[in-house]
Structure 1
Amino acid sequence: MPSTHSSGNPGRPKKAPSPVVTRKVPPDTKLRLAVAAGGRCEFRGCNLFLYEHHITGTGGNFAEAAHIVGFREGGPRGDDPGRPEDIHALENLLLLCPNCHKLIDDRPEEFPRLVLEAHKREHEERIHQLTGLGPHLQTVVVQFKSRIHGQSVEIPLVDVRKAVAPRYPVGRKPYLFDLTVLSDDGDSFYAAAQEVLRRDVRALYAKGTDVDAVRHISLFALAPIPLLVALGAQLSNKIPVELFQRHRDTQDWVWKTEGTPAQFSIHTLRNGTDPTKVAIVLPLSGPIAAERLPTAIDGQFTVYEISLEGQPSGTDFLRTRNDLIRFEATYRQLLSMIVGAHPSSREIHLFCAVPAPIAIACGHQILPKAQPALIVYDHVAVKGGFVFCLRIDQGHD
């Protein structure tokens, strides 16, 4: 009787052939990879958009699905321990431009598996976050800078983007109020600076601008205190303005989410003999001794102070958005007190040792035609104390 088996080893069933693994990544996996990468090269720092030619702008598919652990053992990173069971798994693929693909495969010792997995993870987390933002989270970034002690400070855009998240900036460049072109060593500096600010702020709020469309501003400012107060007075109350603080400990602009809350209290330092004469002292970043005030702020003046509760003056008390909100509420309370107690007063003399956002708030919180003008001073070491800088007669519209 003939054998029922077609080969030797009688009684054993035939072994199924091993599946053939091809280099071709499944179309569904390619699609998921392109979506996760946002259509951009995932090599850290490249970010090239891969579905149009980077010079001509001609549409096309210039993307390559690169294996982190090489397709074949012995290939780039191909002998890495823990080789994936499915070499075409999404977790083992990077979307790359041809140049970056060649680089990582030519130099596998410089780009091992863990490094490339970090590239993929960072890129795809960023794309996921950015594509999850809705249009209502747009913001117009405004930067204001002037010379401080003869120098100006740049605010890197990467720091701005990090600080405004989960909002995202409209456009690639901020609106820039730049007073560094003005000489700051003449008597006419503050008058000229105020005029430039008025012009720039009018342009910012003009009909048809980004601010008109988006209705939100994120403001980053580094300038002398009187100019910060003047800028705050020019800003409209009709469009929300979010202020940001540069933190000395982390050297960034991201509001912190924890820390001891800053609390503020109002004190009357002196009751003056003339009810029309009023001054406010804000010794928050540092003490302001009475002898540092101009001699004109004499016994006729009633002097009010907003100070920190439970902690000394310092440069790091303003940590969270809520700290700034609490200051603004206290400052508005003091302004209302002054209007009630000094109805005939036409001026408030302001002396500040404060962070930039608080200086801006001092101008922004005044009500036009309802509260006295602000007479703003700055401390000038070479002159031994505070000197008059500018007058703010009207608040924002």
Structure 2
Amino acid sequence: MSVTSITDKNKYLLWVKSGGRCQYRGCNCSLTQDILTKRNFNKAYIAHIVADVPGGPRGDAVRSPLLKDDITNLMLLCDAHHRLIDRADVAGHPEKLLLEMKKEHENRIETVTAIDQDRQSYILTYKANVGVFTPELSYQTVSQYLQPDYFPAMADTIDLSLSNSIQKDSTPAYWTTEVENLEAQFNKRLSQNFAKGEIKHLSVFAFAPIPLLIKLGTLINDIYTCQINQKVRNPDTWKLDDDMTEVKYTVVEPENNHKTVALNISLSASITNDRITEVLGDECDIYTIKIDNPFNDYLKSKRHLEDFSITIRQLLNKVKAQYGEKTPLHIFPAMPIAKAVELGRVWMPKADMPLFLYDQNTANSGFSKAIEIVNK
């Protein structure tokens, strides 16, 4: 236990550098509010990395007196981690490790607080049942992925999800209910605030069947400035990186000219055309957009998403010129989350073809129509 009276100057400086949060790696809890009662009070402990007396934790006969009131030797900790490093597991917390924790935490606080005010972003979340899996999204789990480009405009998400839904995506009622809820929530929670100028940027985190993600994209459209985040499995993150490596998108055009036209999107998996003609019949022109070796975790960079946006916009223009803006485009998608949302965003509601969106579900033995998105 410290016997040194630390100067007010260093106390205040440590509070600023730590952001009022525990500096122990992985903790980051607020030291100004009780987690249950929400009552505000000071529950912080100032700990010495090198003890202020030679016989204390990590103490040294020469350095302890020199560092007893040195800001570089002080950490702000919660009660549990203060006890851990000074009593329960002193040996497991050498000076080098604690200095690393302190540096990491203070660098993160410095990065976050250096973001300009105009870089605030509202977190938009949307989730819906995918097969037997119901995903979880929360402010605590996704807010970290805004940094260092943006910071949360408020300590909560704008959640458009249908709460406590028991319907599964194998039933027609599921799609009707989800679309109605998505439109209603979007109009209620976003459209009005955007019209007032309150929302200038969105950070989108969504996990739902692909047709619903495309529908979400049509609502966001290009009116909103936004960052679409992608769930990456390896490494485990929601943040696309800045790698500029190109992914080549190949567009295969049909040879015939029928009245029915479809788009095969084979990016996260390969879709054979016979699975489409089983639904639409043989008299169907099928355009295909694909990559070499499709797999479900290939989208990792912002460049990949930007290139897709350009490619799909050009393709929509080409198909519309060939078949007319009133002809429905039947879309059979196997694609990443972010690209599904982006497809919806580039679709122009007053100019493009209607989109008929299909969903692959083993419970229905293949593809079935899920959502129709029509011109306004």
| TM tier, smaller | 0.7 to 0.9
Q: TM-score, normalised by structure 1?
A: 0.82
1:324-350 CA-to-partner distances (Å, cap 9, x unmatched) read 111111111011112222226421111
Q: How does 1:309-320 map to 2 (within 5 A)?
A: 311-320=292-301
Matched, 1:181 2:165: yes
Structure 2 gap segments, 5+ residues each = none
Matched, 1:357 2:338: yes
Larger deviation, residues 95-104 vs 258-267 = 95-104
Structure with max Cα Rg = 1
Secondary structure, aligned partner of 1:139: strand
CA distance in 2, matches of 1:119, 1:279: 54
Matched, 1:240 2:221: no
Tell me the equivalent position of 2:373.
392
CA distance in 1, matches of 2:158, 2:56: 50
Secondary structure, aligned partner of 1:188: helix
CA distance in 1, matches of 2:195, 2:74: 39
Correspondent of 1:165 among 117, 129, 147: 147
Return closer, same or farther for 1:97/1:153 CA change in 2, 3 Å cut-off: closer
- Name the aligned partner's letter for residue 351 of structure 1: F
Tell me the equivalent position of 2:125.
143
Tell me the equivalent position of 2:253.
268
Cα deviation for residue 211 of structure 1 reads: 9.1
Return closer, same or farther for 1:266/1:104 CA change in 2, 3 Å cut-off: closer
Cα deviation for residue 119 of structure 1 reads: 3.2
Return closer, same or farther for 1:280/1:102 CA change in 2, 3 Å cut-off: closer
> Is the 8 Å Cα contact of residues 281 and 303 (structure 1) preserved in structure 2?
yes
Return closer, same or farther for 1:339/1:81 CA change in 2, 3 Å cut-off: farther
CA distance in 2, matches of 1:140, 1:210: 15
Q: How does 1:78-227 map to 2 (within 5 A)?
A: 78-79=59-60, 85-96=66-77, 101=82, 104-107=85-88, 108-155=90-137, 157-166=139-148, 167-179=150-162, 181-184=165-168, 185-208=170-193, 212-227=197-212
Tell me the equivalent position of 1:6.
none
Cα deviation for residue 104 of structure 1 reads: 4.0
Structure 1 gap segments, 5+ residues each = 1-21
- Percent of pairs with identical residues: 26
More helix by share: 2
Cα deviation for residue 103 of structure 1 reads: 5.5
CA distance in 2, matches of 1:89, 1:198: 57
- Name the aligned partner's letter for residue 271 of structure 2: I
> Is the 8 Å Cα contact of residues 52 and 67 (structure 2) preserved in structure 1?
no
- Name the aligned partner's letter for residue 164 of structure 1: L
> Is the 8 Å Cα contact of residues 205 and 229 (structure 2) preserved in structure 1?
yes
Matched, 1:70 2:54: no
Return closer, same or farther for 1:299/1:193 CA change in 2, 3 Å cut-off: same
Return closer, same or farther for 1:258/1:394 CA change in 2, 3 Å cut-off: same
Secondary structure, aligned partner of 1:33: helix
1:139-164 CA-to-partner distances (Å, cap 9, x unmatched) read 11111111111211223545412322
Secondary structure, aligned partner of 1:293: helix
RMSD of the TM alignment (CA)? Answer: 2.9
Correspondent of 1:256 among 241, 245, 249: 241
